[in-house]
Structure 1
Amino acid sequence: MNTSSSCSRSTYYSSLRNKIFHKASILSIDAMNQIGRTQCPEHRILNRTRTDFMARVAVIDPQTATGEAKQLLDAVQSGLGMVPNFIRVLANSPVALNAFLGLHGIAGAGVLDERTRERIALAVAEQNACQYCVSAHTAIGRKVGLDNDEMLANRRGRSLDAKAEAALIFAHALVEHTGQVSKAEFEAVRAAGHSDAEIIEIITHVAMNIFTNLLGKATEVEIDFPKVELNTAA
């Protein structure tokens, strides 16, 4: 075995655990359970009942995973205290999971505030009719301080915060036109106070959330968050 290579990979996974760890204050099992106990009619949160479920792809069990998949799943478990089904499905390809976790960690360290990032995630998930992602980001959104009315508005591409709403309108245009936004749409988000760095990060978060929406819908991954019904059907 190459000792330096082994040490390098060990350092990498340790760094990955640290990047994920700061998310633990945003999303935890206790937080999810608290949300599940809050019967909010506006969000139509459903009781989590177990039904027969047949996954389209394997849902990797962290306890029986091996190799790089095992190391990545252990890093997520160490950071979050849980491994969501979405991550378990993604672990079928350790390369894909590694890439997602890397991008997610970098994007989360940018200039956009965490509430705006969650607003974007909710808006894109609703626009793409991904129930898994709407459910997950409703849980995370509440944890970062978004209330029910704000999250419902976010899912419609609106916000009580004017600057955040400009980001959501821009995000909607990016999804609707697959990136071909108009000069006026670009100028509008800038006029609302978003810097070039923030605009690039809005595009990054839209792209990242489109990926999670596609994966969640294509695999029909079982929702392991308090379920939230979609406002629209796709």
Structure 2
Amino acid sequence: MATINVPTRDEVSANNQEIFDNLNSKLGFVPNLYATFAHSETALGDYLTFQNRKSSLKAKEREVINLVVSQINECDYCLAAHTAIAKMNGFTDEQILELRTGEATFDAKLDALANFTRDITINRSKPSTESVNRLFEAGYTKENLIDINIVIGDKIVSNFIHGAGQFEVDFPAAPQLEGALA
């Protein structure tokens, strides 16, 4: 049951209506998560700017992070959305399920990223020295480390918005993953 309603275009400010129109033209709809941000005069625009910033990470790497963090935080909304986005970025169903466990045995570099993301998220910002070293040994840089943390922060924000709001998921449901990560 929703604790925060998903506002319609008519229920948001003129500024947010313009953002809704832009999202509608690009995506064909306004995702419920984004619409919920529009309860705030500035949060939707701020979040989209934050989310769409330039990054040293590739789209596939960002999806690894999004899937791992969303699984740890048990966010059904973000798992559904990022399962769809991960498929658009070339991941198979099997790879997506594995990524959600914090592993990527099919790619050594993504495996280091998935493991680091799982470690830092579960340990509330304090990854092991081993996982940091493994990340660097896999070829990630200090710039990448900063960008990884930006994506983790972005995903935590959206996970928490859905966790508090419990609004309807408007993407196809992600398959259930057996076993918890935390």
Q: Which TM-score applies when normalising by structure 2?
A: 0.91
1:228 aligns to what SS in structure 2?
A: coil
> Aligned runs of 1:166-181 on 2, under 5 Å?
166-181=112-127
Name the counterpart of 1:213: 159
Contact 1:72 1:94 in 2 (8 A): no
Higher Rg of the two aligned structures: 1
Q: Which amino acid aligns with 2:85?
A: I
> Aligned runs of 1:1-234 on 2, under 5 Å?
54-106=1-53, 109-159=54-104, 160-231=106-177, 232=179
Structure 2: how far apart are the matches of 1:66 and 1:192? 46
Aligned residues: 179
In structure 2, the gaps of 5 or more residues are none
Q: Over aligned residue pairs, what C-alpha RMSD do you find?
A: 1.7
Offset at residue 126 of structure 1 (A): 0.8
Structure 2: how far apart are the matches of 1:220 and 1:93? 17
Contact 2:13 2:41 in 1 (8 A): no
| 4+ runs deviating over 4 angstroms | none
Q: Which amino acid aligns with 1:127?
A: I
Contact 2:112 2:131 in 1 (8 A): no
Offset at residue 185 of structure 1 (A): 2.3
Percentage identity across paired residues of the two chains: 30
In structure 1, the gaps of 5 or more residues are 1-53
